[in-house]
A and B are shown apart, each in its own frame.
Chain A
Amino acid sequence: MLKEKLKRVISHGWTNFHRNSYVSFGTTGVMALVLLLFLGLIAMNFVSGVLVAALENKVDVSVYFKQTTTDDAIMEVKADLEALNTVKTVQYISREEALTLFKERHAQDSLIQESLAELETNPLQSSLNVKAVDTGQYASVVSFLETHKLRTTIDKINFYENEAVIRRVRSISQSAQQWGLIGTLVLAIIAVLVAFNTVRLTIYNQKSEIEIMRLVGGSNWYIRAPYLVEGALYGIFAGVLALIVFYITVGSISPKVAIIMPGVSLSGYFAGNAVQVILLIIAGGVLLGMVSSFIAIRRFLKV
């Protein structure tokens, strides 16, 4: 009996959906736009996340050691730094490596090359490049170094020169996250309201039908259920439509984004997370449609 009731409810929901095809088409269209907006927000968050991560990745702190410092001492400092949970990576650059890198970087500059040739000793220092897990943690890394027992072997920590840049990157990344979240919330609320009102208008069109169902003795749930199915159908069709449009758009703009931001693959990201994105959008659409229908129909059931 339950199976038969369920079958009936789904069948009536489908009948409502396809017999009011113009209204259903309009409602599905509006909901698809709303879901597209959500997808757009996901894409925006992804791109801004990649940008902030890239920016943060460029920030590090270099610790330069006095020329007399032994490799063992440097390795000890390196091991101590690596033991900190605020530190992501520590890269050791020996004096020789530093010189090689310097020469490579200035290969075109004959004046520098000549000056270096005239020097008998390597003027560069060994260093450790420290990357923190979070840009806010550089200060603590530096204070750790300042109080380290081998502090005397350290000549210079370039955090003080980089401090302003680090702060700037940190504030950009924080405000990007905050504004991204606020923007997403505001747009999401607007989108939900638009979808809700569209479904409400659609149900309002069927107001007299709902009242008739009540008058011939339909229980509230029996009347409500097909409209919930109808709402879910709007969500499913809108979700599918939005996903098709979105994936086609991503496919076409992804190469252009990759030109502006090398290493950022929009299509790769959305192809890799396709299952989650599809499930999220379809489930979001179904939920939006059903909740809107549920609220919209409530006031017509009071006959």
Chain B
Amino acid sequence: MIDLKNISSIYEDKFIALDDINLKITRGEMVSIVGPAGAGKSTLLRMLTREQVPTAGDVTIDGVNLSSLSSDDIPLLRRKIGTIFQDFKLLSARNAFENVAFALEVVGATSGRIQEDVPKALDIVGLSSKSNNFPYQLSGGEKQRLAIARALIHRPTIILADEPTGNLDMVAGHDVIQLLQKINELGTTVVLVTHNREIVDALSRRVVTMEKGKIVRDQTENGKYII
């Protein structure tokens, strides 16, 4: 479902962020992408949401080449993908309910569906009692769980998580990963970018290791964090 073919990304100052990347991720997989800072992990995720376009190569999701998307089609691509960020990226002027509801509103869901689905999503991430709280009234772990609820709400086929535990303590981080595992078990493809050795080792799933913009190792089963 995700296919990166000969992807290179070179910045204007000649810095090579991605260097001839080839990667295929099939439906329902849970893949961890690991590597030191500056290895190109986040750039790779930005290619999948069309925040960035590659200098060379093709990114294909479900058979659609992302380079061919018009700016009007980009929102449609992003609605298929749920994204979770290290810095949560929540709407600070909206409360927890509204943050989750927003992702449904943009896909044109009715008020009835929003009223029905948002409490369920908040319940899944354990934030039912905080639906009226604003992001500044939530802890780091709660913010990330809220971001997961938002990423889940429109039932995306892919979840991209960019260092989702980076700003969290161990317990909160563990909760987040457990949630992602549950989501994956329900059939959603999960791509997890992380620095966290314990998490990767505990997951024991496919691990792709990147260094200096290249994929240096791809352990398809029982992968471990090796740099």
Q: Which residue numbers of A lie inside 8 Å of B, CB to CB?
A: 1, 4-5, 8, 15-16, 19-20, 206, 208-209, 211-220, 222, 303
B93 pairs with A19, CB closer than 8 A: yes
Residue of B nearest to A206 (CB): B93
B88-124 interface mask toward A, CB cutoff 8 Å, 1 = contact, 0 = none? 0111111000100011011110110000000000000
Contact indicator A20/B93 (Cβ below 8 Å): yes
Of the residues B72, B92, B103, B107, contact of A209 by C-beta under 8 Å: B92
Of B25-33, B74-82, B173-181, the segment with at least 4 beta carbons within 8 Å of chain A is B74-82
Closest chain-B Cβ to A114's Cβ sits at a distance in Å of 90
Instruction: Give 25 CB contacts A-B under 8 Å.
Output: A1-B108, A4-B111, A19-B93, A20-B93, A209-B91, A209-B93, A213-B106, A214-B78, A215-B78, A216-B83, A216-B102, A216-B106, A217-B75, A217-B103, A217-B154, A218-B75, A218-B102, A219-B72, A219-B75, A219-B106, A220-B71, A220-B72, A220-B75, A222-B75, A222-B105
Report the minimal beta-carbon distance from B80 to chain A, rounded to whole angstroms.
8
Partner of B51, one of A19, A209, A220, A303: A303
Chain B nearest Cβ from A109, distance in angstroms: 81
Report if A208-B75 is in contact (Cβ < 8 Å); known contacts: A213-B102, A216-B102, A303-B51: no
Report Cα–Cα, A2/B98, bound state, in Å: 20
Question: At the interface, yes or no: B188 with Cβ under 8 Å from chain A?
Answer: no
Chain A residues with CB under 8 Å of B78's CB are 214-217
In this complex, what residue of A is CB-closest to B83? Answer: A215
In the bound complex, residues from chain B placing their C-beta under 8 Å from that of A211 are 89
- B89, B107, B111: the one contacting A217 at CB < 8 Å is B107
Spell out B's residues near A (CB within 8 Å): 49, 51, 71-72, 75-79, 81, 83, 89-94, 98, 102-103, 105-108, 110-111, 150, 154
Give min CB distance, B15 to chain A, whole Å: 21
| Chain B residues with CB under 8 A of A208 | 89
- Distance in angstroms from B162 CB to nearest chain A CB is 11
CA distance A15 to B110 in the complex (A): 19
Contacts of B72 in A (CB 8 A): 219-220
State in angstroms the CA–CA spacing of A99 and B49 once bound together. Answer: 96
Q: Are B106 and A222 in contact (CB under 8 A)?
A: yes
In the complex formed, the residue of B with least CB distance to A8 is B105
Distance of A267 from chain B, by nearest CB (Å): 42
Those 7 A-B pairs whose CB atoms lie nearest each other, nearest first: A217-B78, A217-B79, A218-B106, A219-B75, A217-B75, A212-B89, A19-B93
* Docked complex Cα distance between A218 and B77 (Å): 11
Residues of A within 8 A of B90 (CB): 212
Query: B107: which A residues are within 8 A, CB to CB?
Result: 217
A292 CB, min distance to chain B CBs, angstroms: 19
Nearest A residue to B112 via CB reads: A4
CB distance from A113 to the nearest CB of B (A): 86
What is the CA–CA distance of A20 and B94 in the complex, to the nearest angstrom?
A: 11
Collect the chain B residues with CB atoms within 8 Å of residue A1's CB.
108, 110
Instruction: Specify the chain B residue showing the minimal Cβ separation from A208.
Output: B89
Can you name the residue of chain B whose Cβ is closest to the Cβ of A302?
B71
